[in-house]
Amino acid sequence: MQRRHWLAALGISLIAAPLAAEPDSRQQEMVDLAWKRGCFNCHDLDTTLRGPAWRDVGERYQDDPEALERLIPIVRNGGGGNWGDEFMTANRRVPEEDIRQLVEWILTLRSTESSVQN
């Protein structure tokens, strides 16, 4: 009987392991894409650099169903005034699909502190 429990536990762990690893692999995929596209020149996940920390962005817009469609053109064309005096540089050479994927992912992030600037 104990062998069945052990086999059942093993089976569950083999199924659950890839599911548990998925969010980390998705984050790594998006971090790699952000590095490739030069996003980390101005941004960081947790620290405000020239631009806001992405976790702060995700937290600020978490309840805004229109945020994705509003932020994509800002990332593409540049913009300013939403996070202080800094102006976001246009990213016209970055494919639209890459921008969409990155913004979708950023909008899922949450700040580790209550450091969102309003």
The binding site for heme c consists of: 39, 43, 88
What tokens appear for 61 in the block? 């817009």
What tokens appear for 110 in the block? 């949450």
Point out the annotated binding site. Answer: 39, 43, 88
**Residue 4: strand pairing partners:** none
Q: What distance in Å separates the CA atoms of residue 104 and residue 93, rounded to the nearest whole number?
A: 19
Q: Could you give phi then psi for residue 95, rounded to 5 degrees?
A: -55, 145
| Cβ neighbours for 73, distance < 8 A, ≥ 6 positions apart | 79
